[in-house]
Amino acid sequence: MPFGKITLDTMKIATWNVNSIRTRVGRVTDYLQRADLDVLAMQEIKCKPEQFPVEAFEAIGYKVTMHGLNQWNGVAFASKIEAEDVEIGFTGMPEFKDVLEARALGATFDGVRLWSLYVPNGRMLDDPHYTYKLEWLDRLAANTAEWLEYDPDQPLALMGDFNIAPLDTDVWNIDDFAGSTHVSVPERQAFEAFEQIGLRDPVRERIPTGYTYWDYQQLRFPRNEGMRIDFILGSDAFAERVTSAEIVRDERKGEGPSDHVPVVVTID
């Protein structure tokens, strides 16, 4: 199928940590068709470019734009619209153990600038990965501020797995997270920095509560012991165009699901 310049009256956009695209290609392509998405940002694709199941996406009318280095991390877009101005990583993105990991991919779709982001986990508060996480977020925020200053009228959204639960209600029991990552004050301050530079959460504005992730262990999903760590943060020019939002909880059900679910917005 040819992919050319398309101008849409509305655009349906989602983000989803798929937790290995090769393992879940059937679930992802099935959801793309059922939801009729225009753009899907994916994280944790866990493969190199030559390993990505591109043919399965092209067979249903989607073009793949991706960045992956090995069996860890990796980010991608599947879109009906041609990806323009593709950018791998952002200026000053820090390395971890001398590796510039595949965690950030930017592209423009019909004038809307999107980033698929997989923020470092942090692991433990005393782990070097935690320091790396905070540095990574700081550089992303600095870049975002520059993008907004350069073109404040461009619809811009940061989409993906932020590995942060900004509010106590974003985890099933805040007492269980004492001394843990994802809820620490520095992480939450790093998340809040995006709001301070002008981004909004149009999903939260419409869906105040609800989780996007449930661990596979200890029956977390049946018990609804989840976390809200996947977000779409948009500039005013993006958020003001959002007409609806959804957290697709049912995608955590069934056989072989990802531990995350899609977060979706429609813009006009």
Rounding to the nearest 10 degrees, give the CA dihedral for residues 19, 22, 27, 31: 80
Q: For residue 64, what are the domain limits?
A: 12-267
pLDDT of 121-151, one tens digit each? 999 999 999 999 999 999 999 999 999 999 9
Q: Which of 2-16, 26-40, 187-201 has the lowest mean pLDDT?
A: 2-16
Q: Is 144 contained in some domain?
A: yes
pLDDT at 8: 74
Q: Is 5 contained in some domain?
A: no
Domain count, the chain: 1
Q: 6 falls in which pLDDT band (50, 70, 90)?
A: low
Q: Is 213 contained in some domain?
A: yes
Let me know: does 49 contact 66? Beta carbons within 8 Å.
yes
Please report, for the domain that includes residue 241, its CATH number.
Answer: 3.60.10.10
- Residue 118 β-bridge partners: 161
Q: Is 197 contained in some domain?
A: yes
Of the candidates 13, 17, 46, 48, which has an alpha carbon nearest to the alpha carbon of residue 163? 17
Q: Is 3 contained in some domain?
A: no
Residue 5 pLDDT more than 70? Answer: no
CA atoms within 13 A on the CB side of 23: 14
- State residue 87 phi and psi, 5-degree precision: -135, 125
Compute the average pLDDT of residues 87-94: 98
Q: 253 falls in which pLDDT band (50, 70, 90)?
A: very high
pTM metric for this prediction: 0.96
